Amino acid sequence: MLLDLQLNDHLRLRKQHPCGSYEWTVTRLGADIGLECKGCGRRVMLTRRELAKRLKTNLTKHEEEQHGQQPNS
Ligand SMILES: [Zn+2]
């Protein structure tokens, strides 16, 4: 499964963080994905594979998929 992620996306994971929050913000995109907990601000790195397993929902509404055209490229 491909992850459709962008920086600052707001994610809900399946498992609750010890601080009580399920929600995370994407802070880094690369081979690994950086996430920051919305509840306590803690940052973690997950591989795409791990995140795909833990992710429940991407709460960010992306614009309609862009067909071919990339702004700013
Ligand atoms: Zn937390």
Give per-residue pLDDT as tens, 24-37: 999 999 989 999 99
**Assigned domain for 21 exists:** yes
Residue 70 CA, ligand 1 centroid: distance in Å: 34
| Parent domain of 40 | 10-57
**Number of structural domains in the chain:** 1
**Assigned domain for 33 exists:** yes
Give per-residue pLDDT as tens, 3-29.
789 999 999 999 999 999 999 999 999
Residue 2 CA, ligand 1 centroid: distance in Å: 25
**Assigned domain for 2 exists:** no
**Assigned domain for 52 exists:** yes
**pTM higher than 0.85, yes or no?**
no
31's tokens: 């081979």
Residue 18 CA, ligand 1 centroid: distance in Å: 6
Tell me the C-alpha to C-alpha distance, in Å, between residue 38 and each of 6, 44, 57: 16, 12, 15
**Assigned domain for 4 exists:** no
Residue 69 pLDDT level (bands cut at 50, 70, 90): low
**Assigned domain for 46 exists:** yes
Answer yes or no: is pLDDT of 51 > 80. Answer: yes
